[in-house]
Copies of this chain bind each other. A is one copy, B any other.
Amino acid sequence: MASFPEPIESALKELSRLPGVGKKSAMRILYHLLKGGSGTIEGLENALRLLKENIEKCPLCRGYKEKTAECPICCDPRRDLGLLCVVESTQDLHLIDSTSAFNGSYFVLHGLLSPFKGIGPEALGLEELRDRLDPGMLREVIIATPYTAEGEATSSFILSMIEGTGIKASRIGMGIPIGSDLSFVDPETLSRALSGRREVK
């Protein structure tokens, strides 16, 4: 008969926007939060505030880092700065980094080229990537975008940027199922795909 109070309606709307959260899961989450009381809600609220206030993109790898700290990826002294791995997202960066099959540096695109979604080279920071293509610094660029239409288009674009620089270009090894997201791949497959990477040009 009656509809939900406004604050509940708007919380449901916000929760349903999250990836993988439908109307029913939003409802479950909402009642879980309400049942836990202000403590439970505050825990999530604080975590979100800290995220908003303290996380920024690293100017070098473009991955997420704490504002008050050095980038744990870029400032790791064990990194081989002659190797650069280009990934779609920070999530992919961490997935690859957790395999220990790669100890070079990273560049996060935060997306893939998509004329359909209006995502062009500027949105992916490809000019910044171009600035890093210094053959005096880099030996090899490993392109680890997924084997999807958008991932391949992005890869081709980056390959054309590398062409003629004298830097070796490679593509993450096939072994990743076509059409699949990197996050669905187990670490073993991922590490084999890295060691089995092939030179494309």
Question: Which residues in A have some Cβ–Cβ distance to B below 8 Å?
Answer: 1-8, 10-11, 13-15, 17-21, 24-25, 27-35, 38, 40-45, 47-55, 64-66, 69, 72-73, 76, 78, 89-91, 94, 97, 100, 103, 110, 183
Residue pairs across A and B with Cβ atoms less than 8 A apart, 29 shown, are A1-B78, A2-B73, A2-B97, A4-B94, A5-B55, A5-B64, A5-B69, A6-B50, A7-B54, A7-B55, A8-B64, A11-B48, A13-B47, A15-B44, A18-B32, A18-B33, A19-B25, A20-B25, A20-B28, A28-B91, A28-B183, A30-B51, A34-B51, A34-B90, A41-B52, A42-B52, A44-B48, A45-B45, A48-B48
Closest-by-CB residue of B relative to A53 is B7
Shortest Cβ distance from A30 into chain B, in angstroms?
A: 8
Query: Which residue of B has the minimal Cβ distance to A110?
Result: B35
Taking CB atoms, residues of chain B closer than 8 Å to A29 are 18-21
Main secondary structure of the interface of A (DSSP, over half): helix
Complex CA–CA separation, A27 to B14 (angstroms)? 17
Closest 6 CB pairs of A and B: A2-B72, A5-B66, A14-B47, A7-B50, A11-B47, A41-B52
Contact call A8/B51, Cβ cutoff below 8 A:
yes
A51 to B47 Cα, complex, angstroms: 16
